[in-house]
Amino acid sequence: FKINAIPTTPFGDQKPGTSGLRKRVKVFQQENYTHNFIQATLNAMTSPCAEGSTLVVGGDGRYFSKEAIQIIIRVAAGNKVSKLIIGKDGILSTPAASNIIRKRKADGGILLTASHNPGGPENDFGIKFNVSNGGPAPENVTNSIYEHSKNIKQVFVGEVPEIDLSTIGVQTFEGFTVEIVDSVHDYAILLKEIFDFELIKSFFAKNPNYKVLFDGLHGVTGPYSERIFVEELGLPRSSIQNCVPLPDFGGGHPDPNLTYAHSLVERVEKENINFGAASDGDGDRNMIYGKGAFVTPSDSVAIIAAHAEVIPYFQKTGVKGLARSMPTSAAIDLVAKKKGLEIFEVPTGWKFFGNLMDAGRLSICGEESFGTGSDHIREKDGIWAVVAWLNIIAAANEKKPGFGIRDILLEHYHTYGRNFFSRYDYEEVNGDGANKMITHLRHLVGPGKSEFVGKTFGQFTISSADDFEYHDPIDNSVSKNQGIRIIFTDGSRIVIRLSGTGSQGATVRLYVEKYSQNVSEYESDTQEALKPLIDVALEISKLQQFTGREKPTVIT
């Protein structure tokens, strides 16, 4: 086939954020916009270069995915990529793509998703590059993509025909191969190797009244949940809802939290469902929700770590170390301490866990943003987390029949104490105001501002404060300005940072955490318990003044 060098000009705004390039669909639809970004991504590949490489392609199936995949096919062919492995119909959940990159020893992958952001012609699209370990590209690679995108002069496009994405099989065009694969097959095998499916099945068999409800929020997990929960674990089909992937997610936010997975929460409470769970657009997030028992993601990862010994995968590999992102509560730190494990605190974004996993120092990690996972792949993994919880519950019921999500939570608090945690999001605020607020905070906590430490606000006295800076212990890279941290003498914390995944305006994230070992507080309401600390956060940050917002858009 013929390769054409098409002249183009840079767009200047193709800087990947926390998790790839996310913009409105209309931005990606501009002439050459998507071509440019793919070309810049291929240009940034070094070892190996794009030429001769094998790449995995797939995504959450959102609006514009199919068009983007045809563009990727032609630009890959134009750059002499040797092989593309593409999920059927362009569908691969983020964790499934990570698994295929590793299993097939591909050189990387291109993931088409804006995760939990709404989809459709008026909403968001996204492109993320993953590297050969199956994880999101580290910052040096995303920076290089951005540099290439700013200097791009031409895109190489191969004249290959439009590929039928709906037929599994291999097609070759003069040394360029396109393989369409089943989206679920390898992922299902992976989970069956990790968890005790027999134990979970026998738990369901012994407890026919134990009700499970999984909500796919019309994201990519539909076919995965059908295969795993219904076909493999034998649950009735009524145990899954919103499991047909839709390009616009049915008009909703495919984000598994108390706000956007509201229908799941309501049904769990009304129908006395024992185990509720949900996942996001691209299948890497999860929420665990039992009747009257919402599990915060920070608690969830700590509990999985605390119970890891019941999971066959960890029986085999051992638990090498634990980690969390900086804003995530320190519940998992307490588990690490008790078990004598190493614990790492990294910046927001899954890409920072990969080096630690590759070095054999990290097994289980999570983020407060409903992300939980392990070193079985290099992405967070929604369905993995749900099955991990089912495995833990099934194992607990061997000794304590009837033990549910709420019992596991309370037992955990009694052993480790409770880390109350909440996040306030102020979405689409004026960027100028948000930046001014961050500048104000940097001033307060910056070097040489030692008078801030020791100040008292209400019942809280500041013990340390900084703008978080991460030194990667494996490759020694440094990531600066990762979020303002204010830590108080009683261990309570306030964190403030700006989102790196939004597509419009700025989003301010305010995270608050308070630790309690007071048994009488273990069943308290989170918002009530945190109220005094939130007031202090608003006072210090002057958030209302800078953003003009009285209330957050979403509280998780």
Least distance in angstroms from the C-beta of 15 to ligand VG1: 13
Kindly name the residue from 65, 98, 115, 279 that is annotated as catalytic.
115
Which of 511, 483, 487, 507 has its CA nearest to residue 497?
483
- Asked whether the bond before 48 is cis by omega within 30 degrees of 0, the reply is yes
Instruction: Report if residue 503 touches ligand VG1, rule: CB under 6 A.
Output: no
**Cα 277 to chain centroid, rounded:** 15
Q: Which is nearer to Co ion, 259 or 317 (CB)?
A: 259
Question: Residue 349's binding partner, choosing from ligand VG1, Co ion, none, with beta-carbon cut-off 5 to 8 A by kind?
Answer: ligand VG1
Q: Which is nearer to ligand VG1, 78 or 283 (CB)?
A: 283
Instruction: Report if residue 501 touches ligand VG1, rule: CB under 6 A.
Output: yes
Q: Which is nearer to Co ion, 282 or 381 (CB)?
A: 282
Sign, Cα dihedral of 286, 269, 298, 439: positive
Q: Which is nearer to Co ion, 149 or 225 (CB)?
A: 225
* Cα Rg, the chain, nearest whole Å: 23
Among residues 53, 65, 99, 115, which is the contact residue for ligand VG1, using CB under 6 A? Answer: 115
Q: Which is nearer to ligand VG1, 196 or 255 (CB)?
A: 255
Least distance in angstroms from the C-beta of 285 to ligand VG1: 5
The secondary structure element, H or E, covering residue 300 is helix 297-306
Instruction: Report if residue 371 touches ligand VG1, rule: CB under 6 A.
Output: yes
Letters for 306-335 (x = contact with ligand VG1 by CB under 6 A, - = none) are -------------------x----------
Q: Which residue is nearest to ligand VG1 (CB)?
A: 115
Least distance in angstroms from the C-beta of 131 to ligand VG1: 15
Distance CA 395, CA 303 (A): 13
The DSSP code sequence of 486-516 is: EEETTS-EEEEEE-SS-SSSEEEEEEEEEEE
Instruction: Report if residue 124 touches ligand VG1, rule: CB under 6 A.
Output: no
Distance CA 188, CA 465 (A): 45
Q: Is 479 a catalytic residue?
A: no
Least distance in angstroms from the C-beta of 127 to ligand VG1: 12
Distance CA 289, CA 501 (A): 25
Among residues 14, 16, 19, 180, which is the contact residue for ligand VG1, using CB under 6 A? Answer: 19
Distance CA 111, CA 131 (A): 11
Distance CA 374, CA 380 (A): 7
Least distance in angstroms from the C-beta of 288 to Co ion: 16
Starting at the edge strand that comes first in sequence, how are the strands of the sheet with 321-325 ordered?
Answer: 342-346, 321-325, 364-367, 371-374
Least distance in angstroms from the C-beta of 58 to Co ion: 14
Among residues 226, 280, 381, 472, which is the contact residue for ligand VG1, using CB under 6 A? Answer: 280
Sign, Cα dihedral of 484, 488, 491, 493: negative
Question: Residue 500's binding partner, choosing from Co ion, ligand VG1, none, with beta-carbon cut-off 5 to 8 A by kind?
Answer: ligand VG1
The DSSP code sequence of 460-471 is: EEEEEEEE--EE
Among residues 422, 500, 506, 547, which is the contact residue for ligand VG1, using CB under 6 A? Answer: 500
Instruction: Report if residue 62 touches ligand VG1, rule: CB under 6 A.
Output: no
Instruction: Report if residue 367 touches ligand VG1, rule: CB under 6 A.
Output: yes
Among residues 116, 211, 324, 376, which is the contact residue for ligand VG1, using CB under 6 A? Answer: 116
Instruction: Report if residue 183 touches ligand VG1, rule: CB under 6 A.
Output: no
The secondary structure element, H or E, covering residue 157 is strand 154-158
Binding part of the chain for ligand VG1, among 54-62, 295-303, 311-319, 347-355 by CB under 6 A, reads 347-355
Distance CA 228, CA 233 (A): 6
Q: Which is nearer to Co ion, 210 or 289 (CB)?
A: 289
Close Cβ partners of 372 (under 8 Å, ≥ 6 residues apart): 286, 297, 300, 301, 304, 365, 366, 380, 381, 382, 384, 385, 388
Least distance in angstroms from the C-beta of 174 to ligand VG1: 36
Rule CB under 5 A: which residues touch Co ion? 115, 280, 282, 284-285
Q: Which residues pair with 158 in a beta bridge?
A: 3
Least distance in angstroms from the C-beta of 497 to ligand VG1: 7
How many residues bind to ligand VG1 according to rule CB under 6 A? Answer: 18
Close Cβ partners of 133 (under 8 Å, ≥ 6 residues apart): 101, 102, 354, 357, 358, 378
Among residues 350, 424, 426, 488, which is the contact residue for ligand VG1, using CB under 6 A? Answer: 350
Which of 187, 249, 204, 160 has its CA nearest to residue 394?
204
Instruction: Report if residue 245 touches ligand VG1, rule: CB under 6 A.
Output: no
Q: Report the catalytic residues.
A: 115
Footprint on this chain of ligand VG1 (rule: CB under 6 A):
18-19, 115-116, 280, 284-285, 325, 348-350, 367, 369, 371, 499-501, 509
